[in-house]
Structure 1
Amino acid sequence: MTAGTRSLEDSFATVPVPQGAGFWRRLAAFVGPGWLVAVGYMDPGNWATDIAGGSAFGYALLSVVLLSNLMAIILQSLSARLGIGAGLDLAQACRRRTSRPVAIVLWVLAEVAIVACDLAEVLGTAIALKLLFGLPLVWGVVITGLDVFLILALQRFGFRRLEAFIASLLLIIAGCFALELFWAGPDWAAAAAGLVPRAEIVTNPAMLYIAIGILGATVMPHNLYLHSSIVQTRAYGSSEAQRRDALKLATIDSTVALGLAFFINAAILVLAAATFHTAGRTDIAEIEDAHRLLAPMLGVGAASAVFAIALLASGQNSTVTGTLAGQIVMEGFLDIRLPVWLRRLVTRGIAIVPAVLVVAASGDRGATDLLVLSQVVLSLQLPFAVIPLVAFTASRGLMGAFAAPRWLVVLAWAITAIIVALNGYLIRGYIAG
């Protein structure tokens, strides 16, 4: 492959954009990549922190969910800017703009993050299969290896069909939680008040720790690689005016999709607050405990099943986007291409082996600990994706006229500093037990 290799070459510029059409028709052509990105903001790793926050502190941490979502919107807009403005995905930019040793280190860290993310997807899907069908976790973990065939089948029908599949599952998740909220009947005035930050979040160590967990589980490093690539599946043209229009439409797409992600994360926290916190069950912090108690505490037999269906849809969605991110990272950093099925089997195999061993040896509790550990690994890798992204999009030498404006660069560096500092605090707390 040459230095000019396109990102996701088989899908590059395969979605037509009607030039000269009205705003809504052009926007419709760009709807899709943002939905794939939104998947990473509502994966099983987010569920545990949202449940813990809602059950322990009611609606108070909704402001943290909102703040983390706003941070994500800024970072994903920079990811789209890199793909459209420089014509490079983040992995390609790292390979071309850093020394060989630095690029290798960044590649290894990105691969570790993708494996950690895949591990969370494996465990989330396995837990959902257990909750729905009573399947032992070990067998659920093994069965998740078969979803490689789902990915292959979807990709045969083109990128637009893949996006439609993702969007359908996201709507199922949203519908499930809309039902749960209807049954739970939360205090909406208290929930609205929870959107306003309060000093107690910083002064209360227990609240601060869960707040940091919510922030740490929100911004996923693989999403920054993913978004910078998949925006280039649109055939938006090469002129500056066309690319500026593409950047505007891609940013709208990701912002709206992340708005849906905010609704789902907020819904999980609100559900936990309305169901568990108000009943004095402030100790609920695990997905399986929440599932077990939802039906009896809400008095609705279907509540637990609907919760598990949403979890299964979340795990499957994350599987698809994790596959794409893995392909983008390997091709971008190493400039080599592997068949998608082989790439998927390798990453899924690396995730399944430790999951099977831990679950077989430690049971369900081991699965929960492994899920938490996967989020810590993702937190460790996050600075090595965010810092290059902000630096590249601020560079006029790389971005030209599409370099981020100064106000956006300052805001992005401030967000980066907050995320890095809080993730460091979270990791220190995890190590200290």
Structure 2
Amino acid sequence: MHTQESSASLSEVHQSIDTTKPQRSKWRRILAFFGPAYLVSVGYMDPGNWATDLAGGSRYGYTLLWVLLMSNIMALLLQSLSARLGIVRGRDLAQANRETYPAPVNFILYILAEIAIAATDLAEVLGMAIGIQLLTGLPLIWGVSLTVLDTFLLLVLQRYGIRKMEAFIIALVAVVGTSFLVQLLIAEPPMGEVVKGFVPALPDETALYIAIGIIGATVMPHNLYLHSALVQTRKISKTESGIRRALKINFADTAIALNLAFFVNAAILILAATVFYKAGHTGIADLHEAHRMLEPLLGSKLAPILFAVALIAAGQSSTVTGTLAGQIVMEGYLRLRINPWLRRLITRLVAIIPALIVILVAGEEKIGELLVFSQVLLSLQLGFAIIPLIHFVSDKQTMGVFAIKPIVKAAAWLISSVLVYLNIRMVYNEAEAFVNSEHPWWIDGLIFLVILGFIALLVITVLYPWLSRYRKMHSAQMHPVKLSLGDLEKPVYSRIAMALDFSEQDARVITNALAQGSPHTEYVLIHIVESASARYFGNDALDFETQKDQEQLDTYIALLAQRGVKATGQLGYRHRAKEIARIVKAENADLLVLGGHGHSGIKDWLYGETVNHVRHKVHIPVLVVQ
């Protein structure tokens, strides 16, 4: 864990994909932009959306398809605004909030964003666990526990860069889409009736409630943070024409990706309408029940298998994007960075623990209620992501000619108002049902205070950017406007340590170490013995390898002495990084030089990451020689 030193969003992959290379063909330059929206789109087809789609299709047939289409149009506008913020200002939504709102407000917004991400992850955990159970029959409690293993999948993906991660997500989205396409071909829905479903109609109040659920579950708060950061992985020309081109291509990318998500959601609703509604099963909204009924109603064993596979793929793809969103939120609001695998593990445990408690205490039948609760938590956060976003992309002072036009602004505020109203109504209904149940009076008072607090925060997020003229125009890192470089005196090192592995690379390490020193510098040669007995017995080991390593170290010291270089040697044992750091501190070295082998990915697991670990354990400059 450390304070973020760069103001770039997702700095490890920031502008890592160059879309400006002149040697590329026109289509390759265009395709280089494609990818971020597909990572965003998985949030629109995650397991949290499936229940409302199943309920709408099984109860009202194809009637509510128009609600899905309207939700998709809303999402397209909001995600394109998020991408615009990242492309034009080079800021993600969390960074822009940090620059605009007071520190206490930002801290609350950060907490809410983290709660939203945890709630999203909870839905993904439950969806994946249910999918595993449906596919294998494994008890739900074990399926929930197994989902912690995807932490390591994310670790592997991040080592191969953002492009490989996008390819993995696109592959999972393809699995989901193909699964439902095959199920639709088996179900053979009447296309004439399907088309009629796009005509707006609400048969009764229950249909309105389900429509609210569909719309409320569509736009995920974390996706707005995510999209504004992912578009910055592309290096673009910062000219007016270059920015316009990037905005145009990213809009096309967003439109294609969200239409794929719309197809998946529509396919779930159409499948439920064709299979359940037509057969008179109008009360199906549970994933288990839907899976169980597919085979007898369709007469195919393939359909329920594809349903479970799609559920697992949807949950797995969402876990990756949820972790990235968590990293963006933490770095943007707090300027704090922790290892991605640790971030993922913490988020996943926060999601797993409530699920395990509910299963152990109340039983598997209460999992559906927990899934609904996760969507309510998401609903609470939505307004606090949309409202600041509209403020930022409307601001001509920071967006210049790329500020959104009045008609787009009006549409955005209208959509924001509708979504906030629908989500407040959903939360109000849940709170009312809870208040009417039996419990201590002080819980009602606590709920009332929380509601007042949310209303007050909502008012602040709406009014503060308009009322306050104080705008922080510098970066989210908050560097001083003018930096002094001082006298730039050349450092003088009295003791330089060098870590050697007795390979051909030693010559380069020693040469670079000598270049940093002066005639009065003393050098400390370090080598870590890695034989089995040395690992076990430490400095008490007198095996053949230890003796040979000591001889080689003495040879190096003698050769340096012939050149007038004063050097001593130290052998270390067991853990390489810990031993190098220990010897460096014990010898009071003021510079460390060591070799970097340049391997990555699975080789880091096989051979270790000595350089990375050592530099975090010492408090002196470290020179890495490749």
TM-score over 0.5 for the pair: yes
State whether residues 128 and 311 of structure 2, in contact with CA within 8 Å, keep that contact through their aligned partners in structure 1. yes
- Cα deviation for residue 429 of structure 1 reads 2.2
Distance, in Å, in 1 between the alignment partners of 2:6 and 2:78 is 26
Q: Counterpart of 2:91?
A: 88
Whether 1:234 and 2:234 are equivalent positions in the alignment is: yes
**Counterpart among 90, 102, 115 of residue 99 in structure 1:** 102
Distance, in Å, in 2 between the alignment partners of 1:4 and 1:327 is 14
- Cα deviation for residue 428 of structure 1 reads 2.0
Q: Counterpart of 1:39?
A: 42
Q: Counterpart of 1:319?
A: 319
Structure showing the higher helix proportion among its residues: 1
Q: Whose relative contact order is higher, 1 or 2, with alpha carbons under 8 Å and at least 6 apart? A: 1
Specify the SS of the correspondent of 2:336: coil
State whether residues 4 and 337 of structure 2, in contact with CA within 8 Å, keep that contact through their aligned partners in structure 1. no
Distance, in Å, in 1 between the alignment partners of 2:148 and 2:254 is 29
State whether residues 138 and 359 of structure 1, in contact with CA within 8 Å, keep that contact through their aligned partners in structure 2. yes
Specify the SS of the correspondent of 2:9: coil
- Cα deviation for residue 364 of structure 1 reads 1.8
- Cα deviation for residue 430 of structure 1 reads 2.4
Whether 1:421 and 2:421 are equivalent positions in the alignment is: yes
State whether residues 18 and 25 of structure 1, in contact with CA within 8 Å, keep that contact through their aligned partners in structure 2. no
- Cα deviation for residue 103 of structure 1 reads 0.6
Provide the aligned length of Structure 1 versus Structure 2. Answer: 430
Q: Counterpart of 1:187?
A: 190
- Cα deviation for residue 431 of structure 1 reads 2.8
Tell me which stretches of 4 or more aligned residues in structure 1 moved more than 3 Å.
1-4, 18-23
Distance, in Å, in 2 between the alignment partners of 1:18 and 1:299 is 53
- Cα deviation for residue 292 of structure 1 reads 0.5
1:9 corresponds to which letter in structure 2?
S
Q: Counterpart of 1:376?
A: 376
The C-alpha deviation readout for 1:152-172, integer Å capped at 9, x for no partner, is: 001111110000000001011
Q: For 1:80-229, list aligned pairs within 5 A.
A: 80-198=83-201, 200-201=202-203, 204-229=204-229
- Cα deviation for residue 2 of structure 1 reads 6.8
- Cα deviation for residue 407 of structure 1 reads 1.1
Distance, in Å, in 1 between the alignment partners of 2:185 and 2:20 is 40
- Cα deviation for residue 178 of structure 1 reads 0.4
- Cα deviation for residue 3 of structure 1 reads 8.0
Distance, in Å, in 2 between the alignment partners of 1:27 and 1:61 is 36
- Cα deviation for residue 23 of structure 1 reads 4.8
State whether residues 14 and 233 of structure 2, in contact with CA within 8 Å, keep that contact through their aligned partners in structure 1. yes
Distance, in Å, in 1 between the alignment partners of 2:365 and 2:243 is 50
**Counterpart among 69, 72, 90 of residue 66 in structure 1:** 69
Distance, in Å, in 1 between the alignment partners of 2:69 and 2:424 is 21
Q: For 1:240-279, list aligned pairs within 5 A.
A: 240-279=240-279
State whether residues 127 and 311 of structure 2, in contact with CA within 8 Å, keep that contact through their aligned partners in structure 1. yes
Q: Counterpart of 1:16?
A: 18
Q: Counterpart of 2:600?
A: none
**How high is the sequence identity, in percent, across the aligned residues?**
53
The C-alpha deviation readout for 1:294-348, integer Å capped at 9, x for no partner, is: 0111000111011000000000000010010000000000011111011111111
1:127 corresponds to which letter in structure 2?
I
Of structures 1 and 2, the larger Rg is shown by 2
- Cα deviation for residue 290 of structure 1 reads 0.4
1:238 corresponds to which letter in structure 2?
K
- Cα deviation for residue 15 of structure 1 reads 1.0
Distance, in Å, in 1 between the alignment partners of 2:410 and 2:83 is 18
State whether residues 154 and 161 of structure 1, in contact with CA within 8 Å, keep that contact through their aligned partners in structure 2. yes
1:50 corresponds to which letter in structure 2?
D
- Structure 2 vs 1, CA of residues 432 and 2 (structure 1 numbering), >3 Å: closer, same or farther? closer
Q: TM-score, normalised by structure 1?
A: 0.97
- Structure 2 vs 1, CA of residues 23 and 62 (structure 1 numbering), >3 Å: closer, same or farther? farther
Distance, in Å, in 1 between the alignment partners of 2:250 and 2:98 is 24
Q: For 1:50-65, list aligned pairs within 5 A.
A: 50-65=53-68
2:150 corresponds to which letter in structure 1?
D
RMSD across aligned positions (CA): 1.2
- Cα deviation for residue 238 of structure 1 reads 2.1
Single out whichever of 217-226 and 419-428 deviates more from structure 2: 419-428
- Cα deviation for residue 361 of structure 1 reads 1.4
Distance, in Å, in 1 between the alignment partners of 2:29 and 2:252 is 12
Q: Counterpart of 2:9?
A: 7
Q: Counterpart of 2:546?
A: none
Single out whichever of 219-228 and 393-402 deviates more from structure 2: 393-402
- Structure 2 vs 1, CA of residues 245 and 19 (structure 1 numbering), >3 Å: closer, same or farther? farther
Distance, in Å, in 2 between the alignment partners of 1:160 and 1:279 is 45
Distance, in Å, in 1 between the alignment partners of 2:348 and 2:400 is 39
Q: TM-score, normalised by structure 2?
A: 0.68
State whether residues 20 and 237 of structure 2, in contact with CA within 8 Å, keep that contact through their aligned partners in structure 1. no
1:265 corresponds to which letter in structure 2?
N
1:387 corresponds to which letter in structure 2?
I
Distance, in Å, in 1 between the alignment partners of 2:365 and 2:421 is 29
State whether residues 180 and 271 of structure 1, in contact with CA within 8 Å, keep that contact through their aligned partners in structure 2. yes
1:29 corresponds to which letter in structure 2?
A
Q: For 1:326-365, list aligned pairs within 5 A.
A: 326-365=326-365
Structure showing the higher strand proportion among its residues: 2
Gaps of 5+ in 1: none
Distance, in Å, in 2 between the alignment partners of 1:245 and 1:157 is 28
Specify the SS of the correspondent of 1:293: helix
- Cα deviation for residue 22 of structure 1 reads 5.6
The C-alpha deviation readout for 1:219-251, integer Å capped at 9, x for no partner, is: 000000000000000011222221221111111
Specify the SS of the correspondent of 1:360: helix
2:332 corresponds to which letter in structure 1?
G
Q: Counterpart of 2:582?
A: none
